[in-house]
Amino acid sequence: MILAIGMPALDFWQFRKVGQEQWLAQSHPLVSAFIRLFGPLGVHARIRNARVINAIQQLLLPASARILDAGCGHGYATFWLAQRYPRCSFKALDADRQIIQANQLIATRLGLDNVDFVQSDALSLAETKTYDLIFSIDLLEHVVDDVGLLAGFHRALRPGGWLLLHLPRRHQEHWRLFSAFTAHTTPDHVRDEYTASEIYDRVAQAGFQVEYLRYGFSWRGEIAFELNYLFWRWNRLRILAALATHPLAVWLAYLDTRQNYADGNSLLVLTRAISG
């Protein structure tokens, strides 16, 4: 077995390296140098990917597990895991051609031969009983037929396989520090994100049994996000503010990943495929 139950969460120096490989795909030397030294400027992506990595490293999986990252984006979690578990095979899907091309470039430069990045809509997943683990980070809220997507994941998993979902909680329920963020929404979300009861219902319809539901993005993670996006309506000001507040934001972001919470702005849901 390769991923031991109870493996400790990422420490601060490991957390700082989540997403660090992105420097390999940057054309601007200053951006490349910053990411190589400090990691990506956006800390909120690191929070959700670190939470997923921490959860995966507590699962018991076969030594040569087959793992799917559905809606991989820049692939922070896949790159992290693929470099540390070379006997596992990874497939990562995303509909964005440019992102997939950048990920393929990074994988080549890192010498990773256990990762396959594929441009594809996750709804088109046609494999059956293939994967030991599927994880998906902030994808379902972009998909109209979310139950259909989950049913496709169920078909693609081996019996008893794991599905791990990270989701934003319904934004009307979010805690905010600065009042300006009460109006902050993501335009390409097709619904008002999820409540805990809604995601329980969705995964049950698709044939999954919930192992646990945990909250993330506590006040620490939310403050880190708000510092990072302080002037979110004005992009240049946002970048300047994010640079100025980066050390504090990264530290708060890391602390947010160190424990589970009774409440928070995101949901981490671990489920298992059941028959019938």
269 Cβ neighbours under 8 A, 6+ residues apart: 164, 165, 166, 167, 199, 203, 210, 212, 213, 214
pLDDT of residue 4: 56
200 Cβ neighbours under 8 A, 6+ residues apart: 210, 213
pLDDT of residue 2: 56
CB atoms within 10 A of CB 125: 20
- Tokens representing 251 are 């530290």
| pLDDT surpassing 70 at residue 18 | yes
For residue 251, count CB atoms less than 10 angstroms from its CB and return exposed for 0-12, middle for 13-18, buried for 19 or more.
middle
Instruction: Label residue 233 by pLDDT band (50, 70, 90).
Output: confident
Position 92 in a domain: yes
Structural domain range at position 77: 12-273
**Averaged pLDDT for residues 198-212:** 96
Instruction: Label residue 3 by pLDDT band (50, 70, 90).
Output: low
| pLDDT surpassing 90 at residue 247 | yes
Number of domains in the chain: 1
Position 1 in a domain: no
pLDDT of residue 155: 96
pLDDT of residue 5: 52
Position 84 in a domain: yes
- Integer angstrom CA distances of residue 49 from 84, 180, 234: 15, 26, 26
d(CA 114, CA 156): 19
Position 5 in a domain: no
pTM value surpassing 0.85: yes
Percent of the chain with pLDDT over 70: 97
**Averaged pLDDT for residues 25-30:** 94
| pLDDT surpassing 80 at residue 44 | yes
Crossing angle of helices 43-56 and 76-84, rounded to 10°: 40
| pLDDT, tens digit (0-9, with 9 covering 90-100), for 102-154 | 999 999 999 999 999 999 999 999 999 999 999 999 999 999 999 999 999 99
pLDDT of residue 216: 94
pLDDT of residue 122: 92
Position 3 in a domain: no
Residue-averaged pLDDT of the chain: 93
Position 4 in a domain: no
Instruction: Label residue 192 by pLDDT band (50, 70, 90).
Output: confident
Rg (CA), the chain: 18
- Among 52, 37, 58, 47, residue whose Cα is nearest residue 15: 47
Q: Where are any strands of DSSP class E within the chain?
A: 66-70, 89-94, 115-119, 131-137, 157-168, 208-216, 266-273
Position 7 in a domain: no
User: For residue 20, what is the domain's CATH number?
Assistant: 3.40.50.150
Position 179 in a domain: yes
- Tokens representing 167 are 């989701």
